[in-house]
Amino acid sequence: MKLYNTLTRKKEEFTPLQGNTARMYSCGPTVYNYAHIGNMRTYVFMDLLRRTLKAEGYKVKGVMNITDVGHLLSDADDGEDKMEKAAREQKKTPLEIAAYYTDVFFKDLARLNIGKPEVTPKATDHIPEMLSMVYDLCEKGYGYETSDGIYYDISRFPDYGSLSGINLEDQQAGARVEVNDEKRNPYDFAIWKKAPKEHIMQWDSRWGMGYPGWHIECSAMSKKYLGEVFDIHTGGVDHIPIHHENEIAQSYGACGKNPAKFWVHGEFMCVDGGKMSKKLGNTYTISQLEEMGYSPMTFRYFCLNTHYRKKLNFTFPAMDGAKVAYERLCEAVLRHKGGTATVDAEKLSAYEKEFREYIADDLNIPGALGVLWTMLKEAPSASVYDLALQMDEVFGLRLKEYVPAEKQVEVPEEITALCEARIAAKKDKNYALADSLRAEITAKGYIVKDTKEGYTVEKA
């Protein structure tokens, strides 16, 4: 398969560095607030990449960090720690804030059918690994001390800026970077911060109490779980100019290597053509969309229709369109269930081949969806149904779980109670009770089906 590599600005053939396993690191959320639909677009993209790699026959070892300390208000080194600010405003401890938003984040991933990466390390659990990298950078002459922290000297790394293609001389002439007298170069960034007394999260170091810089977290955790060099690093495009440049610089300093062979970035989601921002009140969450009648699968389908390297503009008319189209797609798939028409085997394999070519061409998911739509126009055929579900292993649109509108009747409370009791019985491993509850539900004219999240119930 081919993937676009931001580092080389080319589509390149992907093969894992070691054996058959694709080792992939994805920058995870800063858990100080609810993740918004823009963040979620980036994780849908991560999931599509994971699923495509698997469809191509690779195993995937994915690592996604949870940033629960050190991400300051700006991606550079300005402002308060986002976690500390949220804790202060919500009168909670940073730990409570992190636990709450991490939980909501993972629930949102599950609702969007985003596969959880194999390892999801928290920054606060990896302070020793980060400190050891900071010490190493200092010993090798990359790190230096100032009155407020330890900084990385980018003049020691001539390739700095190669990922984003920024010209440092032009940038430094502009006043974009805050000038800190103690920094050797304006683009030097903090790898460790000395903690002011009021900073709640702080750990002991050679320089007294402090806390890690945001960028060192990803370098230390990717090295720990994936090794010095791994296959793919993902994130949103906003990470290219600062966060990922800094990760590369740190890994070069500590290990002499760029940590990832492929750097793959998802484009942004905007709202009504503009930036998503709390001030404008347009940063929706998956739950808010659901309250407005747009299911997580509708949102996922909406994301799938635009290539991950193109900007995606969120509007409500576009979501209405996605809602109708997703339902039509599900109906079209269902039409083939148990269908008896015969579709030429050659024709079927041509659909499959075309589908594979699209996904293997830098995740052309919109193209692959087009193949599915065309195939569904065939006369109702069980083999089309099977192939559609096979394709859905990549799309992740839960096409198999769809319940048609006429069966989506209000479920009486009595039936819901029986279903809940059955789930509880299953949890207790009381399968005899679970079976008898299922029989009771069936006798009352309903069908209960188990799903990853729990169950669905419909009229028989």
Residues forming contacts to ligand AMP in the complex (CB under 6 A) are 27, 29-30, 38-39, 41-42, 235-236, 238-239, 268-269, 276
Residue with smaller CB distance to ligand AMP, 36 or 422: 36
Query: What's the CA gap between 387 and 393, in Å, rounded?
Result: 10
Q: How many CB atoms are located within 10 Å of the residue 175 CB?
A: 8
Q: Which is nearer to ligand AMP, 43 or 144 (CB)?
A: 43
218 touches Zn ion (CB under 5 A)? yes
Nearest approach, Cβ of residue 238 and Zn ion (Å): 11
Alpha carbon distance 219, 212 (integer Å)? 11
* Helices marked H in 36-93: 37-55, 82-90
Q: How far is the CB of 166 from Zn ion (least distance, A)?
A: 18
Of 68 and 378, the one with the shorter C-beta distance to Zn ion is 68
In the bound state with ligand AMP, the residue whose beta carbon lies nearer, of 38 and 117, is: 38
Q: Does 384 contact Zn ion by CB under 5 A?
A: no
- Tell me, rounded to whole angstroms, the distance of Cα 332 from its chain centroid: 29
410 DSSP 8-state letter: P
CB of 378 closer than 8 Å to CB of 384: yes
Candidates 20-28, 220-228, 290-298, 369-377: pick the segment binding Zn ion (CB under 5 A): 20-28
CB of 170 to ligand AMP, least distance (A): 24
In whole angstroms, the minimum distance from the beta carbon of 38 to ligand AMP comes to 3
Q: Measured at CB, which residue is nearest to ligand AMP?
A: 236
DSSP H or E run through 177: none
Binding partner at 29 among ligand AMP, Zn ion, none, C-beta below 5 to 8 Å by kind:
ligand AMP
Q: Is 72 in the site for Zn ion (CB under 5 A)?
A: no
In the complex with ligand AMP, the residue whose CB is nearer, 3 or 334, is 3
Exposed / middle / buried, residue 251 (Cβ in 10 Å: 0-12, 13-18, 19+): buried
Is position 131 an interface residue for Zn ion (rule: CB under 5 A)?
no
Angle made by CA atoms 133, 135, 136, in degrees to the nearest 5: 60
The entry of Zn ion, ligand AMP, none near residue 218 (CB within 5 to 8 angstroms by kind) is Zn ion
> Is residue 66 at the binding interface for Zn ion, with CB under 5 A as the rule?
no
Q: Which residue has the tokens 């492929």?
A: 262
The candidate with the shortest Cα–Cα distance to 264, out of 232, 239, 242, is 232
> Residue 41 binds which entry of Zn ion, ligand AMP, none, with Cβ cut-offs from 5 to 8 Å by kind?
ligand AMP
As measured in angstroms, the least distance from the Cβ of 266 to ligand AMP is 6
d(Cα 37, Cα 315) in Å, to the nearest integer? 12
Name which of Zn ion, ligand AMP, none residue 30 binds, using a CB cut-off of 5 to 8 Å depending on partner kind. Answer: ligand AMP
A 10 A CB-CB count for 353 gives 11
Rg (CA), the chain: 25
Instruction: Quickly tell me which residue has 């065309």 as its tokens.
Output: 374
- Report what 236 binds from Zn ion, ligand AMP, none; CB cut-off 5-8 Å by kind: ligand AMP
Least Å from the CB of residue 261 to ligand AMP = 19
Shorter beta-carbon distance to ligand AMP: residue 35 or 415: 35
Q: How far is CA 349 from CA 51, 89, 352, 420, in A?
A: 20, 58, 5, 43
Pairing of β 149-152 and β 189-194 = antiparallel
DSSP-assigned letter for residue 333 = H
Which of residues 241 and 321 has its CB atom nearest to ligand AMP in the complex?
241
CB nearer ligand AMP, residue 76 or residue 276 = 276
Starting at the edge strand that comes first in sequence, how are the strands of the sheet with 203-205 ordered? 143-145, 149-152, 189-194, 208-212, 203-205
CB of 439 to ligand AMP, least distance (A): 46
Q: Closest approach of Cβ 238 to ligand AMP, in Å?
A: 5
Read off φ and ψ for residue 63, nearest 5 degrees.
-125, 130
**Binder of residue 161, out of Zn ion, ligand AMP, none (CB less than 5 to 8 A by kind):** none
If 0-12 CB within 10 Å is exposed, 13-18 middle and 19+ buried, where does residue 198 land? exposed
Rounded alpha-carbon distances, angstroms, from residue 344 to 74, 251, 338, 341, 389: 58, 53, 17, 10, 18
Examine residue 27 and tell whether it contacts Zn ion (CB under 5 A): yes
226 binds Zn ion (CB under 5 A): no
- Among residues 37 and 376, whose Cβ is nearest to ligand AMP? 37
Cβ closest to Zn ion, residue 27 vs residue 260: 27
Q: Which does 238 bind (CB under 5 to 8 A by kind): Zn ion, ligand AMP, none?
A: ligand AMP
Cβ proximity of 226 and 18 under 8 Å: no
For the CB of residue 45, give the shortest distance to Zn ion in the complex, in Å. 15
Query: CB–CB of 441/420 below 8 Å?
Result: no
- Considering beta carbons, is residue 269 or 387 the nearer one to ligand AMP? 269
The CB density around residue 114, as the number of other CB atoms within 10 Å, is: 22
Q: Which residues bind Zn ion (CB under 5 A)?
A: 27, 218
